[in-house]
Amino acid sequence: MNTSPLLEISGLKTHFFLDEGTVKAVEGADLMVQHGTTVGIVGESGCGKSVTAYSILQLVESPGKIVAGKILWQRPEATGGDLLDLAALKPNSREIHAIRGGEIAMIFQEPLTSLSPIHTIGDQIVEAIRLHRPVSQEEARRQAVQMLQRVGIPRPEERLDNYPFQLSGGMRQRAMIAMALSCHPSLLIADEPTTALDVTTQAQILELMSELQNDFGMSILLITHNLGVVAEMCDQVVVMYLGQVVEQADTVTLFNDPKHPYTQALMRSIPKIGQRRRGRLDPIKGMVPDPYNRPHGCCFHPRCDKFVPGLCDQQEPPLRKLKSGGMVRCVLYGE
């Protein structure tokens, strides 16, 4: 297989220019997605994980804007196989339209808001297929049935004529996945795909995504706040805090030996199933600072228990490569 990464984001900065001030939603995101792997982005609300994903597809809406950075996308052989900087494309350009849905597809937390309520599931999938491929209406419909069947929707011919509201939450998410995969993208961006679902349905959807990944050989960029989902699904994990990537490692290393104090604290603070009552939980002190008022220096320093006065609050540490292959943004891991 190709050894160059499928997607490489470096130094991405996406800012929102509001009346109240500039929100630096993404302020330094670096990550890499290799062919056929699953990369997870974890972080709390407001850490910029979704904005990073939206930036990849140029879906950031005004007053938001990509102000710096590169998003290098390795186009598949069928469309030329060249390396394209998505950050440099205009949000309405022909290239990005061809890539959106065709080469990179996206699924969202709540399918109801991203599926059109006035068109049937079938119409929407058929439209998605015909937008990217020169096939007839009948052929597209046949493919749509196939896709619905593939994602485990029973009686797909009937379901094709249903409207989104007629399906249950899990079925809607399946339909959404079917639509996203209908053009065989090489990257699937999943933004909190199971957050709105119950645990048993979540298990179904996660299982389905792993299966489909094996079948289609695509890469997945999974955005979630749930460390459990990351542990089960991902090969690589990127941890974000306040718009910055603070740590990146392969999943096993990250869970067994987290490096950044934020990752460590996050792992300690969440209640884990099967860890019956070991006294009190160990929460992270304070709260996520507001995005208008980023702390000076390392943005985690006010909450960090390894805070070094005079160092952490003065200079923003760079993202450093570790011997283990991961990266971390913390002064504790200097050369």
Q: If you ran DSSP here, which 8-state letter would residue 164 be given?
A: G
Output 134 or 274, the one with its CB closest to another protein: 274
**Do the Cβ atoms of 49 and 240 come closer than 8 Å?**
yes
d(C-alpha 207, C-alpha 80), whole Å: 33
Alpha-helix residue ranges (DSSP H) falling in the chain: 49-56, 94-99, 111-114, 121-132, 137-150, 156-159, 169-181, 199-216, 227-233, 251-256, 261-269
Output 84 or 239, the one with its CB closest to another protein: 239
| Nearest residue to 216 via CA among 189, 176, 185, 194 | 185
What residues make contact with another protein under the rule CB under 8 A? 19-21, 44-45, 168, 170-171, 198-204, 206-207, 225-229, 231-232, 251-252, 254-256, 265-267, 269-277, 280-284, 287-288, 290-293
How near is the Cβ of 313 to another protein at its closest, in Å? 18
How near is the Cβ of 326 to another protein at its closest, in Å? 14
Instruction: Please give the angle made by the CA atoms of 20, 23 and 29, to the nearest 5 degrees.
Output: 175
Output 62 or 293, the one with its CB closest to another protein: 293
How near is the Cβ of 303 to another protein at its closest, in Å? 8
- Residue 5 phi/psi, 5-degree rounding, is -65, 155
How near is the Cβ of 315 to another protein at its closest, in Å? 21
Output 85 or 305, the one with its CB closest to another protein: 305
Output 62 or 256, the one with its CB closest to another protein: 256
How near is the Cβ of 267 to another protein at its closest, in Å? 7
